[in-house]
Structure 1
Amino acid sequence: MSLHAQNNAVAAGEKLTYTASYNMSGILTELAQVTMETSTVKTSKATLLRLKCTASTYSKWDNFFKIVDLYESYVNPNNLIPYLYKRDINEGGYYKFMKYTYDHKTNTIKSLQRKKNNKEENKSFTIHSGTKDIVSTLYNIRLFDYKSMSIGSKKSFTIVFDREEVNAQITYLGKETIGTNIGKKECYKLAISSSDDVLQGKNNNLLWLTADENKIIVYGKFKIPVGTGELKLKSAEGLKN
């Protein structure tokens, strides 16, 4: 994977809203709303693009299992290389805060973890060149040149999650036109796999990206150890192209 793919797909002011469904006892049930938003953040040294992902359960599920999750990555707007990552999750009483500060010159991350009792743990660790967090990875997938990929060709990349590096791969499965909430869309169909067994089976984890300059994710299907789920685009605002 090119470490410096040019960003021609993602601009500040984009907002993608999804419905996340989960298979509960054989029935696919809408559980949560997922929002992916971009904005410009100016620091004393640079202008960054903030990639913010939030997930929250629909209120009728709050008594059963309440999720309020925030994942965000601050990246170079020209190539989406991350400088700072934060994860702040609260899932049914399970709380965790994690912050990464990248140093790309030395390929290290300074991390800060905070748990329920507010106990903090600082830890630095080494990463491979080009390793990114989950949020910047989801946006980086949109920078690949699918037009020049042949069916069955693969792209490999490395994601850092919970201070561990996970190898992942997408396989290009060709084009498919599907109905979405924003109309019928010709899409690039991708299969995703990972080395950590979180994503189960071959071709069970699929993403559909619009086959245009924006390459937004309109639909996703997932199979994880605790079941299967879907992600469906509800609305898209502020697209770059």
Structure 2
Amino acid sequence: MMQMPLKVNAMAFPVLFLIATLSPHQNKQAQTQSHLTHQAVTCAVENQAFKDGETITYKLYYNWNFVWLSAGEVQFKVKELDDQFHFSAMGTTYKSYEWFFKVRDYYESYVDKKTLLPEVSVRDVEEGKYRLYDRVTFDQDKGKAFSLRGKSKETAEMAKYDIDPCMHDVLSMVYFLRNVDITNYKKGDALPLKVFMDKESWPLKMTYAGKEGDVKVKGLGRFNTIRVSPEVIAGDIFDDDTEMNIWVTDDQNRLPLLIESPLSVGSVKAVLKDYKNLRHDLRAEVK
């Protein structure tokens, strides 16, 4: 009997897009160098895309041996605080998928309202037998990150790391990108980003791939979209030539609708299932 490719675990739930660019099981030595871009590094953006109470849910699928399996769901929430936004993401596998692999991942991030840069980031991960608790406190002004990390909160140990300016975590990156002004972007232009994760800083880029109309999302309708392609890290999960694609609404919400990516084994996609409390009317929908 063919062995199941269980190493595809971490791709799916931590923000795919996130989620999606990084995995706790990947080898940084396999990282490709980020290309030069035409866009300057952006350290702060004003939020115009989301509001308090926004909740978006995605259904996740994994394709193995030409069969699409309904793997689970991930739900993102926004809560507005006095001078911060609190972002959270909870990813869980369906019971019907857990014979293959079980995931219970929780991510949260407290970000500065004025910059959308993270101040505190928490990952509480359960993926098969893998466990991780990691609470990172960012001092953006002094270029430091303090990571309380271990297999559990009770056994976690503190370590200090140097970080570059404008450093993101996975969740802050998602909401930050929704607010980047791409008015003057041309196809192929890229935005450089830096993400701190797993005790290291990762230089990445998000490439603008242009506008695409009439993209269908099952159960929700058809939409005018903008397609972007985030850089991924080659390793256990992604091959060297992997291209991930994300379609977001071509309106002020910049709502991610669909994420697709091949993996080293199989492929994965996340499809928007439900949304509520958007900041703007969903004008990208094709009537």
**What TM-score do you get using the length of structure 2 for normalisation?**
0.78
**Which stretch shows the higher mean deviation, 63-72 or 199-208?**
199-208
- Letter paired with 1:157: L
Contact 2:195 / 2:201 at 8 angstroms: preserved in 1? yes
- Please give the secondary structure, in 1, of the residue aligned with 2:164: coil
- Please give the secondary structure, in 2, of the residue aligned with 1:234: strand
1:136 corresponds in structure 2 to: 172
> 1:73-117 deviations in whole A, cap 9, x for unaligned?
111233311110000011113211000001111011111012159
- Cα deviation for residue 223 of structure 1 reads 2.8
1:216 corresponds in structure 2 to: 255
Tell me, which stretches of 5 or more residues in structure 2 are unaligned? 1-40, 281-287
Q: 1:96 aligns with which of 129, 132, 140?
A: 132
Pair 1:192-2:230 in alignment: yes
The structure showing larger relative contact order (alpha-carbon pairs under 8 Å, at least 6 residues apart) is: 2
Query: What is the total number of aligned residue pairs between the two structures?
Result: 237
Pick closer, same or farther for the CA change 1:116–1:100 going to 2, 3 Å: closer
Pick closer, same or farther for the CA change 1:56–1:162 going to 2, 3 Å: same
Pick closer, same or farther for the CA change 1:89–1:195 going to 2, 3 Å: closer
Pick closer, same or farther for the CA change 1:196–1:6 going to 2, 3 Å: farther
Distance in 1 (CA, whole Å) between partners of 2:54 and 2:126 is: 25
Contact 2:234 / 2:240 at 8 angstroms: preserved in 1? no
- Cα deviation for residue 227 of structure 1 reads 3.5
CA-based RMSD of the aligned residues comes to: 1.8
> 1:126-155 deviations in whole A, cap 9, x for unaligned?
111011011111111111112221111111
Pair 1:110-2:150 in alignment: no
Pair 1:174-2:213 in alignment: no
Contact 2:109 / 2:172 at 8 angstroms: preserved in 1? yes
Pair 1:40-2:80 in alignment: yes
Contact 2:190 / 2:205 at 8 angstroms: preserved in 1? yes
Distance in 1 (CA, whole Å) between partners of 2:274 and 2:48 is: 21
Distance in 1 (CA, whole Å) between partners of 2:113 and 2:141 is: 18
- Please give the secondary structure, in 1, of the residue aligned with 2:107: strand
Contact 2:89 / 2:106 at 8 angstroms: preserved in 1? yes
Q: 1:207 aligns with which of 234, 246, 256?
A: 246
Pair 1:7-2:7 in alignment: no
1:28 corresponds in structure 2 to: 68
- Please give the secondary structure, in 2, of the residue aligned with 1:146: coil
2:158 corresponds in structure 1 to: 122
- Letter paired with 1:216: L
Distance in 1 (CA, whole Å) between partners of 2:158 and 2:72 is: 32
Distance in 2 (CA, whole Å) between partners of 1:192 and 1:239 is: 24
- Please give the secondary structure, in 1, of the residue aligned with 2:171: helix
Contact 1:176 / 1:187 at 8 angstroms: preserved in 2? yes
Query: Identity of aligned pairs, percent?
Result: 24
**What TM-score do you get using the length of structure 1 for normalisation?**
0.92
